Every structure is written in C-alpha cells, then in structure tokens.
Structure 1
Amino acid sequence: MKHEKLVKDILKVIDKENIKDVFFCVTRLRFILKDMSKFDKKALENIEGIMQVKTVGDQLQLVVGSKIQSVYNEFCEISGIQKNEEVDAVEEEKKKFELKNFGTSILNTLSSIFVPVMPVFVAGGMMKSLVLILSMLKVISAESGIMAVLNAISDAPFYFLPFMVGYTTAKKFKLNELFGLMIAGVLLYPTFMNQTAGKTVSFLFMSIPPLNYASSVLPTILCVIAFAYLYKLVDRFIPNNLKLVFSGLITFTIFMPILLAIVAPIGNFLGIQLSNITVGLFSTLGPVAGALFAEFMPFIIMAGMHTALAPIMIQNLSSLGYDFLLPAFFINNIAVAGATLGAAFKIKDSKMKAAAFSSGGLGIIGITEPALYSISIHYKQPLFGAMIGGAVGGFIYTLLNVVAYAYTMPEIFSLPTYIHGGSNLIKIIISILAAFIASFVYSFIFTKEKKGVKVNE
C-alpha cells in the first residue's frame, strides 16, 4: 500500500476506538471523534504527509492534499472502519443545535451535501466546455445527432441536480437515500413542472404553487431535511413489523403536500434572495467587491467556507443564465499558482522547490490547497502574493463584467465556459493574466529562504 506508513502513523496518535466517523473532502481527512481531547495535535503535525491539522467544531481535519482519495481508502482498509460509518445520531443532533456550533454545523452540512456531487457536476461542466470548443471550431454541426448527445450529457448533471442533492442530503440526515430521490422526483414531477400552465394546484385547504425546481437545490435540501425529522417522528410510533409499509406511507401522505405547499416555495424564495443579495452587493460595490472577494478567497478555501457558496452560484446559473462568483475562484486559483511558482524560483531547498513547482502547477488546474498549506503558510510571502494577485484580478474582472456560463472546476481548461459571443473570453484571460503576473512578481521579489521547513508530499 502506497500510504500505509501515513495511515499507521495517524492511528498511533488517534486511537481507533476514539473514532466515531471518518470521511473526506477534496484534500482533507475529516474525523468525528468521541473525545476531542484525546489526541496529540503536535504529534499529528509532525507526521510526514500531513500538511496541516485543523479542529473545526466537532471535527478533526487532516490536510493531506490531492492524494486524499487513496489515503482515505487505505485508512478505512487498514483501520477496519467502514466507509461513511454511521455516527450516533442523537448525540450528533444535540451538537447541531448548540448555538456555538451552529455556523460550523451549517458549513459541515453543506460540505457533506455538495462535495460528493462536485465530481459529477464538474464533469458536466467540462463536457460543456468540450461542446463549446467543438461548436466554435465548427468540427461538429450544431444540428447533428452527435451534438445533441453531447449536450444531453453535459446538461444532465445540472438539470437533475435536485436528485443528486436529494440523495446526499438524505445520507447526511440518516434517511433512506431513495426517499431523498423520491422527494426530488415529486418536486420535478411533470404535473408541477409543465401541466399546471402557471396555475396553482389545490390540495384540500392548501395551494401548491407552479414553481420550476429543476436546477435548483435549496427547495430539495430543505424538503429532505424536514422529511427526515418527520419520518423519524412517525417511525417511533409504528410497530416494528409494520414500519416497512406504514412509516413511509404515512409520512409522504400527510407531510409531502405540506412540503410542496410551504417548504419548497420557501427554499425557492431563499435561493432567489441569496442570488439577489450577491447581485446587489456586486452592483453596489462593483470592482471593490470583486477585489475583496478574490483577495480573501485563500482564507475562505482554507476555512472550508467555499462550499457554502455553491447554492448561490447554482442559483445564479439557473435564474440568470450566468454566474459572477466563479470567475473569482478562477482568479484565486491562478493567483495562488502564480505566487507559488514565483516562490519556487527563490526557494533553495530542493524538496521545497520541487513541492512549490508541483503545487503551483496544481493551482493552474484548480487545486490550490497543497500550495496554500505547504508553501503559502510556511513562507508567508506567497500567501500575500496570492492575495494581491487576487485583488488585482478581482478588480479587473468585475470592472469588465466577466461572468461564467457553466459550472466547472475553476482552472485553465474551463476557459471555454466563458465563450458567449462578445469579448467575455478575452476579458477573463486579461483578468487571470493580471492576477498571475501580480502574484508571481510579488512572491518572487519578497519570498526569502526559510530553514527548517518540512515538506509533506
């Protein structure tokens, strides 16, 4: 096993019996421990392969970089812990409603819902990029069957996103995942999507509004969360031998119409308002908003808060047809890459130099956490360089009104998603070049060799 030593070193510090659950995101192993005081943080930080150790609410997070998937798989295999092992639901729910953990719980919940969906969503976005390139170069006719099939593949993740978040939300809240799919199916049922012709549907004393929930996420998330609690409430009063038949039947029959009439429209309203607030903020502050947003993006990413912005970006793409936050992520990634590569030319330690070049390259293709944790934090100046580059690029892209027309991994291969007639593509290229040059130059000038820095590869 490639990461056997790393896994065993972690298990020496974190007792297996103290682990309630372990899962992962893009670059981090995330542990939920029975007792957060029973591990040596310093010992974990000294393990080769761990870039940073963070405690966020009730979670212990170990940043290991882009190799996270294989590390997680080997950790579960060696430790004997099942993947996504169920935690004690009662204790977890108590923690969720403690005021001091409220913000952390929201971020953790959004992360659990959206991180598993991202590979599919990004695949669709990259396919959309390919379709745009083929169309632009006139390799394939827009009316051809090939283009129709490729469009179906690229659009499917976005159109059926409610099903995916229904599944992941149900999994997060310990509900049968197929119930999550069923709830999304009800929201997207043709009667409510097409056949109402703009008219409400009457159900007893309630009216169900004719809203289109395709490509939206908050209505499905809120409905699944509410259903999970209601289902568990109903299930308590059903005899064990009748649960299979009556728990789901009663919950869907009594409460699903209420979710359709009240909870789903609230989710739709909240999604629109979140989009309107961000539009208003950028409209009011203009380039200043773009500069500040991109400048502090490294800290947003390191805090794991970037996932919380996914519903807003998705809502923007659904309601506006474009999004103005994704370019800031793109600019940040290029700025981090520029700052890291600038530092690479000044670093003399061979291992750190190699790490700087490799992690800088990863930043260009959208993965910045290895650069942030292995280079930026240790040398400091590359972090300042990334912030300066982000501010410069953020100011320019907002000034030029750059937007993204599809959700993709914000990296160099996502450039085709900025093609939409006019000069939008040229403007994003200008913005990322400015970010790269500013961050590279600053980091190259001010980065100094630092002795005794450990590299984690």
Structure 2
Amino acid sequence: MDFTSLAKEVVSELGGKSNVKSVTHCMTRLRFVLKDNKLANTENIKKIQGVLGTAISGGQYQVIIGPNVSKAYGKVTDVLDIQGEAEVQDADNREEKGGVFNRFFKLISGIIFPVMGVMAAVGIVKGILAALTSFHILTTENGTYQILYAFADGFFYFLPIILGISAANTFKSNPYVAATIGAALVYPNIVSVYNEGTNLSFLKIPVVLTSYGNSVFPIIAAVAFAAWLEKRIQEKVPASVKLFGAPLIVLTITVPLTFLVIGPIMTYISSILASGTQAIYAFSPIITGIILGAFWQLVVIFGLHYAFIPILINNISTLGADPINAILNVTVFALAGAAIGFGLRQKDKQKRSLGVSTGVTGLMGITEPIIYSIAIPYKKPFVAAFIGGGIAGGITAAMGAKMFGFGGNALFSAPLFINPKGIDVSFTAYIIASVVAFFVSLVITFLTSKQKENLSNSTIKKVG
C-alpha cells in the first residue's frame, strides 16, 4: 500500500493543506478538524485506495483507514509539514468553538486515546495473572507475579498521574504540574489517612477524603482548572520568577481546591454515573444485553465510542467490575463471524480474501475494516451481526457476566473476564456468548449471502 500517495490524495480532496486545522488518529481513523467541511469531496475520498469510508462526528472529519492508520497518519503529517503536535499553525487557526457535544467529544477522545494502548496491554496482563493464580500456576507471593503485577496494577493505581499528563497535553498546559496534582491524590500518606479514617482539614476547613487511585474524572477536572488558572497568571508573573512562580501559584491553589471541592464533587458524579449505568442494566439485564449486543457497532460507525470509555473505566474503578462492557464485547465477535461467513460464501478470490482477512482482524478487536468494507456495502452481514450480537448480548446479561478490567476486545478480552478472586461465571459466559455471537452471525451470513455479491455504488478496495 502506497501511503504517501494516499496521504496526498486525502489532503487534496479535503480542500488542501489550507483547509486542515489539525489531525490526530485513533486505532483505525484519521481524525481531521477542518476549517470548512463543505470543501471536502467525500465521494472522491471514498474512492481512494486504502480508504474504507468517512464519517463526520464530534466536530471531526474522520477518514477510516483500518489497522494501518498510523502509517497513513505519518505520511499525512509529512504532507501537512507538521512538526511535533499534529496541528497546522497559521494566522487563521483559531480554536474551534462548535457545539457543547463536539467540544466534549474531542476533549474526551484527546485525553483517553493516547493512553488506550498501554491501558489495554496492562489490563490483559492483569487478567492473565488472575488466571495463573486461579490455576495455582503462580502465587501472589511469587517474585514473577509481583514484578508483573507491579506494572499491571500500578498503571491503574497511578491512573490520576497518567491521565493528568494526557489531560494537560489536551488542554495545552504544563504536564508536570498535572502529574504533580495526580501524585498528590495518590500520595501514600494521604492514602493512609483515608484508609485509617482519620479526620483531615486544610486551614481548618474539613476535607472529605476518598480513594483517588484508579479514578478518572477528578484528575481531569482538576487539570482543566489548573490549565484555566495557568493561562490567566502566565503573563502576570514576572519573567524572572516565571519558571517556578507560575507552577507554585497553580499548585498551591489547585491541589487544596481539588481535595476540598473538585475531588469530592467529581467523585460524587462518578458514583452517580456508575449507579445510573447499573440501574439501567438492572431494570432489565436481558433487554439491555439484546439492545447493546445488537446495535452497539452503530455507535462505532459514528466514531463516538471513545466518549463512553471514561464511563466504562469509571464503572470498574467504582464498582470493581463492569457488566456493560461485557455485553459490548460480543458485538466484535458477531462482526468477525459475519465477515468470515461472507468470505467463505464467495467464489471471487478477492472477496473471499477480504472477508477472511477482515474477520481475523475483527477477532483481534478491530471492527471498522469489516464495517466499511463488508457490513455497510453488503448490508446482510450487518443484519446477521445484529442478530448474532443481540442473542449473545442477551446470554451475557442473563448469566450476569462482568469484565474486571479494561483493555482489549474479542480474543484479547478473555483475561479481563477472569475474576481476581478466581474464575467464575463471567469467564464461562464470555466463552458461550463469544461462540454464539461468532457462529450465529457466520451461519446467517453464509446462508443469506450470494456467491457473487455485487456493489451498486462502491467498489472493493484492498484493506491495508
């Protein structure tokens, strides 16, 4: 695949370099912020070899590439002459206002995506360690276990520091100030005071302490305030002391305010979100499972799934496990089965290869190549995935399955269904629901697809 050619064509059809304000990427998409979306020639972009589709969502013009998006991103930044941050700097490059939702979506995706890869990796390792102890292959006292667990659990425990840095980069503020705020939230002495139930006050004002390890929303809110404050005092601090003066003022104000106000409020909101999610699920687990299992991938089409990630992570940190993400996982198996069923039915070698290759990619947790090259163009595989995913989602909910960590999807999610206290019904439900989602979708697609499928308004492109 010639990614240099792809990058040049994409930028050209987006209205040229002058129309691009910024570009980032997620696991499968190039995410552009354009000055004028109307200048983008969507139909021509869809015809570019290597492009699977487009979407406009969250204030972004998204070009779907697939698993090789990082290679395309590198070439796009070369074409745009971007150095460092993926933002084109010019006199007209003002901060896009947009709607509240668009700004919120870009904010959340900008903070969460940079840490997603590491989060998935450590989540998988943590799950594997739980399996090894369940089968008595390792003990928690074993040195091998302790060293691996140190980074697997350490990432989540010190998540306020890690997310603080990512949030600061998004807010364009001092990341070291943000990390220091996060460090204060999980400082051992503060944690000990909380665990011992000791009363604490600041300037005789009572502090409502809580556990900030693994938390998401308190640090994001704290860094948002710190960034706001930093921008307002930068020019007022004398140049001779600005190096330490600005951080001194920001930290001295922000850290106490976080313990006194921001932290407790955001912890309360986190609790409401977790309880609300659980209440919706508890109202009718099976119906919830069927609906989410069938139609979650429609949310993925619009690229809005990143906005839900903090809530799913918050469920785990607040409740210890998450039944919602357990349901969403079956949708990946359903699409993978539909893709492979489509491929097995085709006589044309290119279409057969397309189905099987994207299906295998789906089993690795990436669904967008399936969505844009098979599910949407041919429709019947998508309907089959709705059915398979809906049935499997209902099974998952009926069995009360939960995910005990946040990380990979499909095959890579298996360790996350292992209860740290020992393998229970969640892992059994994962196996049953995954098999059902995959094979029901595969069989329905195989039976309903024609051996010679034709596309009316699009052509098959090589993936990758």
TM-score normalised by L of structure 1: 0.93
Which residue of 2 is the match for residue 123 of structure 1?
A: 121
Which residue of 2 is the match for residue 40 of structure 1?
A: 41
What is the DSSP-based 3-state SS (H/G/I as helix, E as strand, rest coil) of the residue aligned with 1:143? coil
Structure-2 separation of matches of 1:387 and 1:356: 17
What is the DSSP-based 3-state SS (H/G/I as helix, E as strand, rest coil) of the residue aligned with 1:53? strand
Confirm or deny: 8 A CA contact 1:340 1:440 kept in the other structure.
yes
Q: Which of 430, 441, 451 is the equivalent residue of 1:428?
A: 430
Q: CA RMSD in A?
A: 2.3
Query: How far does the alpha carbon of each residue in 1:320-348 deviate from its partner, in whole angstroms, 9 at most, with x for none?
Result: 22111221222011011111111112334
Write the letter of the residue equivalent to 2:6: L
Structure-1 separation of matches of 2:134 and 2:250: 50
Which residue of 1 is the match for residue 4 of structure 2?
A: 4
Confirm or deny: 8 A CA contact 1:271 1:311 kept in the other structure.
no
Which residue of 1 is the match for residue 344 of structure 2?
A: 345
CA offset at residue 139 of structure 1?
A: 3.3
Write the letter of the residue equivalent to 2:40: F
Confirm or deny: 8 A CA contact 2:21 2:93 kept in the other structure.
no
CA offset at residue 280 of structure 1?
A: 0.7
Query: How far does the alpha carbon of each residue in 1:292-338 deviate from its partner, in whole angstroms, 9 at most, with x for none?
Result: 11211111112222222222222222232211122122201101111
Query: How far does the alpha carbon of each residue in 1:93-129 deviate from its partner, in whole angstroms, 9 at most, with x for none?
Result: 8644x5xx21122122111111111111111112123
Q: Which of 425, 440, 450 is the equivalent residue of 2:454?
A: 450
Q: 1:200 to 1:38 in 2, by over 3 A?
A: farther
Structure-2 separation of matches of 1:450 and 1:318: 48
TM-score normalised by L of structure 2: 0.92
Structure-1 separation of matches of 2:90 and 2:116: 26
1:33-432 correspondence runs (5 A): 33-86=34-87, 95-96=96-97, 98=98, 101-196=99-194, 197-204=196-203, 206-419=205-418, 420-432=422-434
Structure-2 separation of matches of 1:324 and 1:70: 35
CA offset at residue 64 of structure 1?
A: 0.3
Structure-1 separation of matches of 2:297 and 2:93: 30
Structure 2 residue 437 is the aligned partner of structure 1 residue 439: no
CA offset at residue 137 of structure 1?
A: 4.1
CA offset at residue 91 of structure 1?
A: 8.6
Write the letter of the residue equivalent to 1:455: K
Structure 1: any 5+ residue segments left out of the alignment?
A: none
Structure-2 separation of matches of 1:178 and 1:92: 26
CA offset at residue 89 of structure 1?
A: 12
Query: How far does the alpha carbon of each residue in 1:176-227 deviate from its partner, in whole angstroms, 9 at most, with x for none?
Result: 2112211111211233221353234222263321111000110001111111
Write the letter of the residue equivalent to 1:450: N
Structure-2 separation of matches of 1:83 and 1:160: 27
Structure-2 separation of matches of 1:436 and 1:280: 29
CA offset at residue 243 of structure 1?
A: 2.7
CA offset at residue 446 of structure 1?
A: 2.0
CA offset at residue 283 of structure 1?
A: 0.7
What is the DSSP-based 3-state SS (H/G/I as helix, E as strand, rest coil) of the residue aligned with 1:22? strand
Write the letter of the residue equivalent to 2:439: I
Structure-2 separation of matches of 1:151 and 1:256: 29
What is the DSSP-based 3-state SS (H/G/I as helix, E as strand, rest coil) of the residue aligned with 1:194? helix
Q: 1:310 to 1:299 in 2, by over 3 A?
A: same
Confirm or deny: 8 A CA contact 2:82 2:88 kept in the other structure.
no
Q: 1:290 to 1:57 in 2, by over 3 A?
A: closer
User: Which sits farther off after the overlay, 83-92 or 169-178?
Assistant: 83-92
Write the letter of the residue equivalent to 1:429: I
Structure-1 separation of matches of 2:92 and 2:288: 40
Q: 1:255 to 1:318 in 2, by over 3 A?
A: closer
What is the DSSP-based 3-state SS (H/G/I as helix, E as strand, rest coil) of the residue aligned with 1:337? helix
What is the DSSP-based 3-state SS (H/G/I as helix, E as strand, rest coil) of the residue aligned with 2:161? helix
What is the DSSP-based 3-state SS (H/G/I as helix, E as strand, rest coil) of the residue aligned with 2:427? helix
Q: 1:81 to 1:92 in 2, by over 3 A?
A: closer
Confirm or deny: 8 A CA contact 1:374 1:456 kept in the other structure.
no
Q: 1:114 to 1:60 in 2, by over 3 A?
A: same
Structure-2 separation of matches of 1:24 and 1:283: 36
Q: 1:304 to 1:90 in 2, by over 3 A?
A: farther
Structure-1 separation of matches of 2:283 and 2:305: 22
Structure-1 separation of matches of 2:316 and 2:401: 14
CA offset at residue 253 of structure 1?
A: 1.9
What is the DSSP-based 3-state SS (H/G/I as helix, E as strand, rest coil) of the residue aligned with 1:116? helix
Structure-2 separation of matches of 1:104 and 1:91: 20
User: Which sits farther off after the overlay, 279-288 or 299-308?
Assistant: 299-308
Structure-2 separation of matches of 1:184 and 1:324: 28
Write the letter of the residue equivalent to 1:170: A
Write the letter of the residue equivalent to 1:120: V
Structure-2 separation of matches of 1:241 and 1:104: 40
Confirm or deny: 8 A CA contact 2:131 2:423 kept in the other structure.
no
Q: Which protein has greater RCO, CA pairs closer than 8 Å, 6+ apart?
A: 2
CA offset at residue 361 of structure 1?
A: 0.8
Which residue of 2 is the match for residue 27 of structure 1?
A: 28
